[in-house]
Structure 1
Amino acid sequence: MAAKWAQKTIILPPHKRGCHLITSQVMKEIQSDLATFKCGLAHLFLQHTSASLTINENYDSDVLDDVETFLNDTVPEGRKARWKHVLEGPDDMPAHIKSSMFGCSVT
């Protein structure tokens, strides 16, 4: 039996800074492809250097709030932060670091 695979580029609408659930948006985009498979893997890759992907529970919205609080406490921005890369604004370097912490892909 030949291996089957599908590849799709998904363009998500812009989101303000923070943690966001994108499950329903991704599922909407791949729903028609899912019908052709009995089992498999999905690999999501984000082509952006100041955003990241992570898998968390979404039953309790406090989880996203707590993750965001942790990230903002761990990777500060503004005048007190001592980042050298500030050409694109005070929030740019913290976004790159946060992206590096979680990564830009999930499987």
Structure 2
Amino acid sequence: MRQTTRIIRVETGGRGFYDVTATLADFLRGARMGEGLLTVFCRHTSASLLIQENADPSVLRDLESVFSRLAPEGAAYAHDTEGPDDMPAHIRAALTQTQLSIPVIGGALALGTWQGVYLFEHRRRPHRREIALHLMGE
């Protein structure tokens, strides 16, 4: 059994979804492992990870709309240290995931036909986000 790790950086332009599927696939190709498990971990409390539909962009627009209603700006939050989008960003992260485990089969991510892996940025302003990758396999 072998393992390898890497930190990838994602420059966001503000709130939204950033497809990292190709970056993960590049990491796998470089690792040259046929079978295993890839752990993807977001190192932030105001961004998260999702496996979601990658064919129809309206899915991502609808998800953003739902999260805007679930965690609205302007509510009476006690925590607003970094502005009105601060606590809503933490709520969004709490409702999603900061870690994903994706099987690797035949040297590729075992994603479904219409699945992609996204960094979900919850803050309005641009950020440099870090995602830790850990691959175990052979």
**TM-score for the superposition, normalised by structure 1:** 0.86
Pairs aligned (count):
101
Equivalent residue number for residue 89 of structure 2: 95
The CA deviation at 1:98 is 0.3
Could you tell me the percent identity over the aligned residues?
36
**TM-score for the superposition, normalised by structure 2:** 0.68
Contact 1:45 1:106 in 2 (8 A): yes
Q: Name the aligned partner's letter for residue 16 of structure 1.
A: G
Contact 1:10 1:29 in 2 (8 A): no
Rounded to whole Å, the distance in 2 between the matches of 1:25 and 1:13 is: 13
Moved over 6 A (4+): none
Larger Rg belongs to: 1
The CA deviation at 1:103 is 1.9
The CA deviation at 1:29 is 4.2
Structure 1 unmatched ranges of 5 or more: none
Contact 1:57 1:63 in 2 (8 A): yes
The CA deviation at 1:87 is 1.3
Pick the structure with more strand per residue.
2
Pick the structure with more helix per residue.
1
Q: RMSD over aligned Cα, in angstroms?
A: 1.4
